[in-house]
Amino acid sequence: MPELPEVEVTRRSMTGVLEGRTVRALRVYERRLRWPVPRALAATLAGRRLQRIDRRGKYLLWRFEHGVLISHLGMTGSWRLYPYGAAPERGPHDHVDLDFDTALARLTDPRRFGALLWHRAADGDVERHPLLASLGVEPLDPGFDGARLYLATRGRSAAIKQVLLAGDAVVGVGNIYASESLFDAGIDPRVPARRLGPTRCARLAAAIRRVLAEAIEAGGSTLRDYASADGAPGQYALQARVYGRDGSDCPVCGRPIRRIVQGQRATYWCAFCQRR
Ligand SMILES: [Zn+2]
């Protein structure tokens, strides 16, 4: 599943090529994504200039003067970028072609849990869109630190791993990066969030920022056959220290990495290095 680093890598790889360019045409071959792609979208975008691509959580925000195209990759989605005239023949899971004057952005999504929606500028700030309004602070923004995480976890009796995944304390820390960050911070993933004091919250916030930044730097995850928009495969799988490594030696203490299930999601951790 594409996580925040993959979405950010996608954003960065498309930004330089597509920002400031004009949409020639939008072709929708399959409307039935998580929600139907709006029928008017092709007419809405044709001839319009893309100002900027931003990211909020795992949503890409394609900003035009008259509104914002909101896209999400769901479970299996990816955007690929092809130079103008160089796109291969469309495959069965290629559902949308966003055709610019210089390049083609193609949305592929075998399981179709992704989304492509339009938010009119006339309807106000896109941050207040129902999909975006309740998202937590961005982990890579300066506003996210130990004090913020400490406040957001008061009164939360759920395990810290699950509070991270919930996305309201901090957005975009998915399953892989939650395990990696908790290992980095030396915190037991099962500990109730409210038991973390200011010091451990500061350590965890710093770990989240470090782990995500390293993953973005490395080009995103290859735990599936994910590739960034310009076709370069990610590298993160080579750097995971605990995720998917149950039975292997902990890279810090040498004891075996364990796998447990929390809220139906796998958690990988070291029972010696990570404390309650
Ligand atoms: Zn260890």
Looking at domain 146-269, its CATH architecture is Orthogonal Bundle (1.10)
Q: What is the pLDDT of residues 120-172, one digit of tens each?
A: 999 999 999 999 998 999 999 999 999 999 999 999 999 999 999 999 999 99
- Cα 149 from Cα 138, distance rounded (Å): 11
Q: Which of 55, 58, 80, 203 is catalytic?
A: 58
Q: What mean pLDDT value characterizes the chain?
A: 92
- Cα 173 from Cα 36, distance rounded (Å): 27
Q: What is the pLDDT of residues 167-210, one digit of tens each?
A: 999 999 999 999 999 999 999 999 999 999 999 999 999 999 99
The CA 271 to ligand 1 mean position distance, Å, reads: 7
Please say if the pLDDT value at position 221 is more than 50: no
Question: Is residue 265 among the annotated active site residues?
Answer: yes
- With a pLDDT cut of 70, the percent of the chain lying above it is 93
What CATH number labels 4-128? 3.20.190.10
Question: Is residue 161 among the annotated active site residues?
Answer: no
The CA 76 to ligand 1 mean position distance, Å, reads: 32
Question: Is residue 259 among the annotated active site residues?
Answer: no
Chain centroid to Cα 45, Å, comes to 25
- What is the structure's pLDDT at 237? 47
The CA 149 to ligand 1 mean position distance, Å, reads: 25
List the domain boundaries for the chain.
Answer: 4-128, 146-269
**Coil/strand/helix, residue 72:** strand
C-alpha to C-alpha distances, 9 to 78, 88, 236, nearest whole angstrom? 11, 22, 12
- Cα 186 from Cα 272, distance rounded (Å): 9
pTM (two decimals): 0.89
- What is the structure's pLDDT at 202? 98
- Cα 34 from Cα 207, distance rounded (Å): 33
The CA 269 to ligand 1 mean position distance, Å, reads: 8
Q: What is the pLDDT of residues 82-125, one digit of tens each?
A: 998 899 999 999 999 999 999 999 999 999 999 999 999 999 99
- What is the structure's pLDDT at 230? 55
Q: Which of 3, 6, 8, 180 is catalytic?
A: 3
The CA 163 to ligand 1 mean position distance, Å, reads: 23
Question: Is residue 58 among the annotated active site residues?
Answer: yes
- What is the structure's pLDDT at 233? 47
Q: What is the pLDDT of residues 38-82, one digit of tens each?
A: 999 999 999 999 999 999 999 999 999 999 999 999 999 999 999
The CA 186 to ligand 1 mean position distance, Å, reads: 9
Pull the structure tokens for residue 38. Answer: 């709006």
